[in-house]
Amino acid sequence: MSELPELQQDAITTVREFFAALEMGAVDEALDLVDPDIVWKNTSLPDVRGAGRVGGLLRGLNRPSFGFRADMNHIAAESNGSPAAEGSTVLTERIDYLRAGPVEIAFWVCGTFEIVDGRITLWHDHFSWENFLRGTAVGLWRAMRR
């Protein structure tokens, strides 16, 4: 694993702070919460390995013409024999919003986060391409109506 000091907060707080940083465009702060060897998986897309590559993608989306936010519908944690708040696996069910110029795409995402020593080692998002395409069509329609 890494030689970074262990973060002293529960796993749910780590994931919530990660998303808050992403929403604010604070990529460096979000990356402070990930392990250097993080793996980011998205349904049917290639895995992204390492904090440098994950950071590169997140920074690429962190421009004035792009935006990200998420509405967390449910969040829960578990660990072998530990209370939920101290869990090492966090599950999220949320609506993600990606903005490109005037178009905002909303789509459902279920995410799994593995936390080791207080840092995210795995970020695995599951989503439906059909739902994503529907969200794209709605976003385009709304942008054209403005």
pTM here is 0.87
Among 51-60, 71-80, 127-136, the minimum mean pLDDT is found in: 71-80
Mean pLDDT of the chain: 90
In three-state form (DSSP H/G/I as H, E/B as E, the rest C), the secondary structure along 76-100 is EEEECCECHHHCCEEEEEEEEEEEE
State yes or no: is 96 an active-site residue. Answer: yes
Domain 11-145, architecture per CATH: Roll (3.10)
Out of 32, 37, 117, 125, pick the active-site residue.
125
Upper half-sphere CA count for residue 128 (Cβ side, 13 Å): 10
Q: What is the pLDDT of residues 82-131, one digit of tens each?
A: 654 455 899 999 999 999 999 999 999 999 999 998 899 999 999 999 99
Residue-range domain boundaries for the chain = 11-145
- The active-site residue out of 35, 47, 96, 117 is 96
- For residue range 68-81, what is the model confidence (pLDDT) as tens digits? 999 999 999 887 66
